[in-house]
Structure 1
Amino acid sequence: LLRDKFREFSRDTGGLGQERVDAANAAAAALIAGGHPERAAVAQWQAGLNEAWAELLELVATRAQELAAAHDLQRFRRDARQVLEHLRDKGRQVPEELGRDLRAAEGLERQHRAFEHDVQALSTQVSQVQEAAGRLAAAYAGPRAEELRAQERLVSAAWAELRGRCQRRRRLLGDTVEQFRFLRATRDLRLWMDGMNLQLEARERPR
């Protein structure tokens, strides 16, 4: 809000002020060109006016840069906080259940693939926070730069933790699915072997 108000102030100041300065310069030039007896004083006054106007424009530009930097800093803090909350919230959503049978385990595995796809979409936000932290930290020094780096480290650590949880769950689900598939294959093989034994026993034994 403050930045928007200053933009309006800067625009009004630059527009109206430039018109008035141009008018004053035109009047001074006319007096000097017309051979006014005080033309030396007019020229001195004109130079002072233009110098004061240039200083005012420089002050406005400096203030605009300060407000832009403050805006970028506030936006970084907000974005870093929101991304950190998203990462931690996603981390809490990683379940422990592995399924009690093959069908359940395969269903959980599919759900986890979709979950990881959603998690991967956060990588862009994490990268933006990391890039902004590096850019802003280079523009500041001392405690503020350290604050920026500390916030970036929190986000990076939460991102690494979330990815680690996802990888561990993917591995556990994969192991669980393979185990259930092995047990099913073993069961089917035992049933087949039992069937073969029954067929052998049903045949007439040689006399």
Structure 2
Amino acid sequence: MAWGLMQKRHMIETQMTVKARQVDELEKQTKHLETAAPDKDINEIKVKKSKVEERFQLIKQPFIGRQRLLEKKKEALQFRRDVEDGLLWIAEKMPLATSTEYGNNLFQVNTLQQNNQSQQTEVENHEPRVNTVCNNGQNRLINELHKAWQELKEAIYNRRANLLRNERAQQYRFDANETESWMSEQELYMMVEDRGKDETSARNFIKEARKSGSGRHPLAEQVAVKQSQLDKLYTGLKDLAQERRAKLDEALQLFLLNRDLGDLEQWIADREVVASSHELGQDYNHVTLLWERFKEFAHDTETIGSVRVAGVNVIADSLIAAGHSGPATIAEWKDKLNEAWQDLLELIETRTQMLAASQKQVAMSDELGRDAGSVSTLQRKHQNFIYAGDRANEISNREQEVVSAWASLQMVCEQRRGKLADTDDLFKFFNLVRTLMQWMDNVVRQENTSEKPPDVGGVELLMSN
């Protein structure tokens, strides 16, 4: 209810602020009228303005007093609510603080100790809030809250002492078998065949293997009764650790090689996009520009690519020569890379020949000469241009092969066209036969009907159908 009154009071306060501005505005308007119309009777306006101001002050004073009362009421209710919240919070924490569960083993004891320490820290962090409430409250409620607070702190302290005693007991029971259990677990870990799925996991496994084989367990010398057994287990564990570390090193080397191969194959694929372009230029200048750019591209590709491919091949060969456990996989990766590199070189060579041919094609001039001498000169240049050189026979043979292949292709196409036409005629015939069979079946069904017309009109109707 008090909160509702406060909200209503805030709304009235907003209205009072607006009205106060309006009263101030009356003062300004009165002064303006005195200056703008000095000949008019301004006394009546002043009297009305004074009455408004007095009335506003009469309303304002009770409002301010009631607002103060409501604020005090709000503070009292807020204090009571804070005390109730504090008591509820203490009641929530008290069951764990007064619990008699101290754990049946060392792990449970440590867990309970961590929980108790977390609760103690939470209580200590919450204490300033409780003190603030107590400083602002009344004596009866303060005493109740303070008493509950002290009981909670004492319960947490007592539980901490009981947990420490139980921890020492459980630690004594735990130390007897801890060393042998550790050795057995490490032995099982060293026998795992998992070498990681990538470079990061392989490095993590190597760190664990180094940690496992770096030194003796700190409790090994404390268990004198099982000394000989532990020494034997430890020796076997070191052997397994060294063996697993070697396997993990191999896995890491394989992952590194795979990463280098992937990067290089992606680089080759990007270069293949440029080398497989079919753009030949629109005129002589355009072809020349493409030719110059592609020569630079081809030179950079062959220079950089040969070095990178050779480096990866050396790494692969060294791994195989060192007796790596995956020589087949390494050899397959190596062959795949070399094949991709050779394909790229062939694409570069093909593109080079295409641009050279295009450059020759657009290099022919449309000039026919101005006299007999210039015509003779142009004829010699043309003969040199069309001369195939040492590869004339090879070009001629290739030309015959192309012509023969083209004739064979045309013959095969003509044969297939004839077969397709024959097949089309066959299916048209089947469709016609099916249509005729359906028509004949319908006629036979109508002729065999048992319906007899009752009169001449019915006979004529059947005959027309």
Could you tell me whether the CA contact under 8 Å between 2:206 and 2:249 is conserved in 1?
no
Which region of structure 1 is more displaced relative to structure 2, 52-61 or 70-79? 52-61
Q: Quote the residue 2:329 is aligned against.
A: 147
Q: What's the secondary structure of 2:216's corresponding residue?
A: helix
Counterpart of 1:70 in structure 2: which amino acid? A
Q: Quote the residue 2:63 is aligned against.
A: none
1:134 maps onto 2:333 in alignment? no
How high is the TM-score relative to the length of structure 1? 0.63
1:2 maps onto 2:201 in alignment? yes
Give how far 1:70 is off.
0.9
RMSD: 3.7
Q: Quote the residue 2:308 is aligned against.
A: 125
Q: Quote the residue 1:116 is aligned against.
A: 298
> CA 1:174/1:67 → structure 2, altered by over 3 Å: closer, same or farther?
same
Could you tell me whether the CA contact under 8 Å between 1:84 and 1:154 is conserved in 2?
no
> CA 1:196/1:4 → structure 2, altered by over 3 Å: closer, same or farther?
closer
State the alpha-carbon separation in 2 of the partners of residues 170 and 4 from structure 1: 46
1:17 maps onto 2:216 in alignment? yes
Larger radius of gyration: 2
State the alpha-carbon separation in 1 of the partners of residues 271 and 349 from structure 2: 14
Identify the match of residue 240 of structure 2 among 59, 66, 90: 59
Counterpart of 1:77 in structure 2: which amino acid? N
Q: What's the secondary structure of 1:147's corresponding residue?
A: helix
State the alpha-carbon separation in 2 of the partners of residues 93 and 113 from structure 1: 12
Could you tell me whether the CA contact under 8 Å between 2:203 and 2:252 is conserved in 1?
no
Give how far 1:115 is off.
1.8
Counterpart of 1:158 in structure 2: which amino acid? A
How high is the TM-score relative to the length of structure 2? 0.31
Give how far 1:165 is off.
1.1
Q: Quote the residue 1:171 is aligned against.
A: 353
State the alpha-carbon separation in 2 of the partners of residues 129 and 4 from structure 1: 21
Gaps of 5+ in 1: 25-44, 198-207
Q: What's the secondary structure of 2:369's corresponding residue?
A: helix
State the alpha-carbon separation in 1 of the partners of residues 266 and 216 from structure 2: 47
> CA 1:17/1:190 → structure 2, altered by over 3 Å: closer, same or farther?
farther
State the alpha-carbon separation in 2 of the partners of residues 15 and 81 from structure 1: 35
Could you tell me whether the CA contact under 8 Å between 2:287 and 2:358 is conserved in 1?
yes
State the alpha-carbon separation in 2 of the partners of residues 97 and 123 from structure 1: 26
Q: Quote the residue 1:190 is aligned against.
A: 369
| Cα displacement string for residues 66-90 of structure 1 (whole angstroms, at most 9, x for unaligned residues) | 0010111222233323322332332
> CA 1:20/1:174 → structure 2, altered by over 3 Å: closer, same or farther?
farther
Could you tell me whether the CA contact under 8 Å between 1:116 and 1:166 is conserved in 2?
yes
Give how far 1:163 is off.
0.6
| Cα displacement string for residues 97-122 of structure 1 (whole angstroms, at most 9, x for unaligned residues) | 22222101110011102321342222
Could you tell me whether the CA contact under 8 Å between 1:79 and 1:129 is conserved in 2?
yes
Give how far 1:93 is off.
2.2
Q: Which protein, 1 or 2, shows the higher relative CO under an 8 Å CA cutoff with sep ≥ 6?
A: 1
Counterpart of 1:125 in structure 2: which amino acid? R
Give how far 1:11 is off.
4.5
State the alpha-carbon separation in 1 of the partners of residues 245 and 308 from structure 2: 27
Which region of structure 1 is more displaced relative to structure 2, 48-57 or 94-103? 48-57
Q: What's the secondary structure of 1:171's corresponding residue?
A: helix
Identify the match of residue 68 of structure 1 among 249, 261, 273: 249
State the alpha-carbon separation in 1 of the partners of residues 299 and 352 from structure 2: 12
Counterpart of 1:85 in structure 2: which amino acid? Q
Give how far 1:15 is off.
4.9
Aligned-residue sequence identity (percent) comes to: 21
Q: Quote the residue 1:41 is aligned against.
A: none
Could you tell me whether the CA contact under 8 Å between 1:98 and 1:173 is conserved in 2?
yes
Gaps of 5+ in 2: 1-199, 222-226, 376-465
Q: Matches of residues 84-123 of structure 1 in structure 2 within 5 Å? A: 84-94=265-275, 95-120=277-302, 121-123=304-306
Counterpart of 2:298 in structure 1: which amino acid? E
Could you tell me whether the CA contact under 8 Å between 2:210 and 2:245 is conserved in 1?
no
> CA 1:165/1:17 → structure 2, altered by over 3 Å: closer, same or farther?
same
State the alpha-carbon separation in 2 of the partners of residues 176 and 107 from structure 1: 12
Could you tell me whether the CA contact under 8 Å between 2:213 and 2:242 is conserved in 1?
no
Which region of structure 1 is more displaced relative to structure 2, 154-163 or 71-80? 71-80
